[in-house]
Amino acid sequence: MDIKELGPIGAELTDIDLKSLSNEDMARIKIYFLDHSVIVFKNQNLNPQDLKNISKLWGEALVHPVFKGIEGHPEILEIKNLGEKYHTNAHWHSDVTFEECPPDATLLYSLEVPEKGGDTLFSCQHLAYDELDTDLKSLLSEKLAIHSNIGVLLLSGGDPNNAKTVEHPIFREHPETGKKALYVTEAFVKSIKDIDSRESQRILEILYKHASKKEYIYRHKWSNGDLVVWDNRSVQHYAEHGYGDQTRTMHRLTTSGSKPF
C-alpha cells in the first residue's frame, strides 16, 4: 500500500484491494484516516455487501434516520442525478448532525459518474478551528449550537411537526486524536444557544464563511470505482452539480458515532 497526500486535507491510498485486506492493511488505513481525515481508494469494484464489510473498519453501518436505503441493504443510500433543480447537497455540511450521536465516518462509492462536473469538496475543520480569530474562539469556547432535522424532513415529504433539535458544542474535540474542530453546519444549525437571535445569525455567517476557506479544501474529481471515506467529526463537504442530466450514481453509508464533546 502506498500513500499520496492530496492537499491541506486528504490522502490517496494505492495498490490496495479493499475486498482482500490483511490485519496490517486495516491498521494502516485507520492511522491514515486519522492523520488525513479524507482517504481515497481508486479502481475498486464493490457491491453493496462489500461496502458494508469495509465500513466495519469505522463502526456499525447505520440506517439513515430519514431517507430510505436500497432494497436488501437499508444502510446504503443510492444517490442519483435528478437534475440540478433537485440537487440538495450544494451546501457545506457534516452528515446527520441533527442526531445525538452523529456518524463518525461517511463512505461514498461511485458507480457511474459524468466526465465533467459533480466534484465533491472537502474542508478541514481542524484547520478552521486553529485559524479562527482568537476573540471569537474565546467567546464561543463553551457555547452550544442547536441542530435540527427540519430541513431533511421537508425535503423527504415528512411532517415538520415531527422535527427535533439537539445541542452540540461549536468546537468539537476529536475523541481519538484530541484535536479541536469547528463543528457548525449551515444545513442543520439553527442558532447558537444563549445568544440573541440576530447576533447568533451574524456569528454563524462568519463561521460558515470561515469553515469553507479555500486554504482548507481538497477537491475530488470522481472516476468510476472511487471510494472516498471521510471523518465526519472534523470534515465538512460540498457536492457540486454542473453535469446537467448526465448519469451520476453513488452509494453512500455512514457509520456509528458518539455524542460530540
What is the rounded average pLDDT of the residues 178-196? 96
The pLDDT value recorded for residue 155 is 76
Which long-range contacts link 154-161 to residues 24+ away (Cβ below 8 Å)? Answer: 155/88, 156/66, 156/67, 158/66
The pLDDT value recorded for residue 95 is 95
Residue 247 has pLDDT above 70, yes or no: yes
What is the rounded average pLDDT of the residues 135-146? 97
First CA to last CA distance, the chain: 34
What is the rounded average pLDDT of the residues 130-142? 97
Classify residue 256 by burial, with Cβ atoms within 10 Å: 0-12, 13-18, 19+: middle
Residue 133: alpha-carbon gap to chain centroid: 24
Per-residue pLDDT reduced to its tens digit, 33-54: 999 999 999 999 999 999 999 9
Q: Which residue has the higher pLDDT, 153 or 3?
A: 3
The pLDDT value recorded for residue 235 is 98
C-alpha cell at 206: 462568519
CB 250 within 8 A of CB 111: yes
The pLDDT value recorded for residue 195 is 96
C-alpha cell at 138: 474565546
Confidence of residue 89 (pLDDT cuts 50, 70, 90): low
CB 153 within 8 A of CB 159: yes
If you average pLDDT over every residue of the chain, what do you get?
A: 93
C-alpha cell at 139: 467567546
Q: Catalytic residue numbers?
A: 93, 95, 237, 252
The pLDDT value recorded for residue 157 is 80
Residue 255 has pLDDT above 70, yes or no: yes
What is the rounded average pLDDT of the residues 54-73? 95
Per-residue pLDDT reduced to its tens digit, 94-128: 999 999 999 999 999 999 998 888 999 999 999 99
The pLDDT value recorded for residue 130 is 98
Q: Which domains does the chain have, with CATH numbers?
A: 2-254 (3.60.130.10)
Confidence of residue 86 (pLDDT cuts 50, 70, 90): low
C-alpha cell at 168: 452540540
Phi and psi, residue 71, nearest 5°: -60, 130
